[in-house]
Structures are given as C-alpha cells and as structure tokens.
Amino acid sequence: MKLQIAIDGKTFEVEVEVLEDDTLPRQPIYGQYQPVPATVQSIPVASAPKAPAAVENASEAKLCRSPVTGVVIKVNVAPGQQIQANDLLMVLEAMKMETNVTAPGAGKVKNVRVEQGGSVKVGQVVVEFE
C-alpha cells in the first residue's frame, strides 16, 4: 500500500506493508471467562481490649478511653490537676492525623496511664479521674 506523507511542507511517497487485517474484530487472547459464584462469609468482629481488674471496678464515668489506635504526641495533664469539661487532656496521632482527647467533665485527674511517645489502642484507659 502506498501513502503520501507531508512533513514541513514537503510531500513524501512511502510504501507500507499491512501485517494485520484491521477490518476483522479482535478477540481476546486469554482463556474463556468463567463466572465464579459469589459467597458471603461472616467475619468475626474483634472486641475491645479487656481492661485490668482494677479498672473494671472503677466507674466508667471516671475513665477516659482512647478513641483511636495511635501514638501519644502530647500529654497536657498530670495527677492531682483540676480540669474543666472539654479541657485538652492529650493529643494522639493515628495515620498522620492528630486527635485531641478532651475531658468529658469537670474533676480532678487521679492517674495518667500513658506517656508521650507511647502507643495506645482503641478503648484503652488513658486517664482516670477522682
């Protein structure tokens, strides 16, 4: 097959050999499609970590638990400190996102169970109140 091609105003005549016939529809090379029936599996849900016996006896209202699994970036409270509702207790980092952990209510900090740089899990007690 001969073609004319124009490049920068100059016309060239070229001869092209067709190796494949483009007029035929192409078929996939891979094997035949075999549909696979869908199956539904139930995946067990992990429960929250078990708290130590001493913590289980404490009133849940006097505990602050971690909302995420991550690393403690900053601790803003110490035992004996008086706090108000929504005061910043600590900052946690999970997946490059910082999460502020605030006080659920006014009170006095009894114990801080984490330290800066430490890791926490979801539901882990991080601060106890009196």
What is the domain extent for residue 98?
59-129
CATH number of the domain where residue 82 is located: 2.40.50.100
Mean pLDDT of the chain: 82
Note the pTM of the prediction, 2 decimals.
0.55
**Does pLDDT of 88 surpass 80?**
yes
| Structural domain contains residue 15 | no
Is 21 contained in some domain? no
Mind listing the pLDDT tens digit for each residue in 55-87?
455 488 899 999 999 999 999 999 999 999 999
- In angstroms, the CA 13 to CA 31 distance is 42
| Phi, psi (deg, nearest 5) at residue 61 | -70, -20
Asked whether residue 14 is assigned to any structural domain, the reply reads: no
Residue 40 lies in a domain: no
Count of structural domains within the chain: 1
Q: Is residue 37 part of a domain?
A: no
